[in-house]
């Protein structure tokens, strides 16, 4: 059974035909289904669906190239690409320049984020304002952004897109979409009570899809690279988020 309707396939074919410039790689990590359950083996409830989705998308343009890997059999490659859970999907180019990652199938409303990421990587450009792009590029220490989502959350794709644009602008930034219901242990660890929930460097977290300039301030805060003026701005944001019970 197809995961993308014929109507959507036709629409996406047109979008990719007009918007794709350079080849895009969709790198999927999966594991083989287990016949016998074991607590010591990785389980993947949506690996087959994720592979099927990527293959369907790749059929819509000759510039989209799927790569399917088994995490158990290719542990070194998974480690190199920062994949520690399945299903894992990386949207990148020939040179592996971008840390744009999905953990869990990007289904439902999250599919729109995947489409936008494919277009972004192919064009080599984000839609961020130049001021934000400039500041994000100045980040000089590693930053890990995790955006916890669910397929029916209307605000989640926006938070994922912002995080992925930051990752494209700066190779030191790794940005993950994490499907909360597919990784309940991780959601429990970070106390995900509402989505989207954004966790940066395990030191800063907030709920909601913040505007790009405020999201950028959070990244600079987590990287400890704010100017005095930005620190003043962030204090005001913190107060507002705390008052709304959105800052942790």
Give the pLDDT band (50/70/90) at residue 39.
low
CA 228 centroid distance within chain = 30
Q: Which residues pair with 197 in a beta bridge?
A: 148, 207
Closest C-alpha among 56, 68, 44, 198 to residue 114:
56
C-beta pairs of 7-16 under 8 Å, 24+ apart in sequence: 9/56, 9/60, 12/57, 12/60, 12/115, 13/60, 13/61, 15/115, 15/119, 16/60, 16/61, 16/63, 16/64, 16/118, 16/119
Residue whose tokens read 């744009």: 100
| HEC assignment per residue over the chain | CCCCCHHHHHHHHHHHHHHCCCCEEEEEEECCCCCCCCCCCCCCCCHHHHHHHHHHHHCCCCCEEEEEEECCCCHHHHHHCCCCCCCEEEEECCCCCCCEEEECCCCCCHHHHHHHHHHHHHHCCCCCCHHHHHHHHCCCCCEEEEEEECCCCCCHHHHHHHHHHHHHHCCCEEEEEEECCCCHHHHHHCCCCCCCEEEECCCEEEECCCCHHHHHHHHHHHCCCCCHHHHHHHHHHHHHHHHCCCEC
Compute the average pLDDT of residues 66-76. 95
End-to-end CA distance of the chain: 42
Question: In angstroms, what CA-CA distances link 192 with 44, 110, 154, 189?
Answer: 21, 18, 17, 8
Q: What is the pLDDT of residues 93-119, one digit of tens each?
A: 988 888 999 999 999 999 999 999 999
CA 220 centroid distance within chain = 19
Give the pLDDT band (50/70/90) at residue 45.
confident
Give the pLDDT band (50/70/90) at residue 2.
confident
Q: What is the pLDDT of residues 145-192, one digit of tens each?
A: 999 999 999 999 999 999 999 999 999 999 999 999 999 999 999 999
Exposure on the CB side of residue 200, measured as CA atoms within 13 A: 26
Closest C-alpha among 188, 244, 48 to residue 56:
48
Compute the average pLDDT of residues 32-50. 71
Please check whether residue 247 is in contact with residue 238, taking contact to mean a CB–CB distance below 8 angstroms: yes
What domains does the chain contain, in order, with CATH numbers? 16-32+42-123 (3.40.30.10), 126-248 (3.40.30.10)
Compute the average pLDDT of residues 67-79. 94
């Amino acid at each position: 059974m197809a995961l993308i309707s014929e109507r959507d396939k036709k629409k996406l074919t047109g979008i990719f035909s007009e918007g794709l410039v350079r080849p895009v790689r969709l790198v999927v990590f999966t594991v083989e289904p287990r016949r016998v359950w074991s607590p010591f083996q990785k389980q993947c409830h949506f690996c087959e669906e994720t592979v099927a989705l990527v293959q369907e998308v790749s059929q819509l343009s000759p510039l989209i190239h799927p790569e399917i890997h088994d995490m158990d059999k290719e542990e070194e490659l998974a480690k190199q690409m920062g994949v520690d859970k399945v299903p894992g999907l990386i949207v990148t180019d020939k040179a592996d320049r971008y840390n744009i990652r999905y953990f869990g199938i990007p289904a439902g409303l999250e599919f729109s984020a995947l489409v936008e990421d494919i277009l972004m990587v192919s064009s080599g450009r984000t839609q961020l304002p130049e001021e934000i792009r400039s500041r994000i590029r100045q980040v000089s220490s590693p930053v890990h952004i995790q955006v916890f989502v669910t397929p029916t959350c209307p605000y989640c794709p926006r938070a994922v897109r912002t995080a992925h644009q930051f990752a494209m602008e700066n190779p030191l930034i790794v940005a993950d979409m994490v499907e909360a219901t597919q990784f309940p242990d991780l959601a429990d660890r970070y106390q995900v009570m509402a989505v989207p929930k954004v966790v940066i460097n395990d030191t800063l977290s907030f709920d909601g899809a913040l505007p790009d300039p405020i999201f950028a301030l959070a990244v600079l805060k987590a990287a400890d690279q704010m100017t005095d003026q930005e620190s003043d701005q962030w204090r005001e944001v913190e107060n507002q988020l705390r008052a709304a019970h959105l800052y942790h």
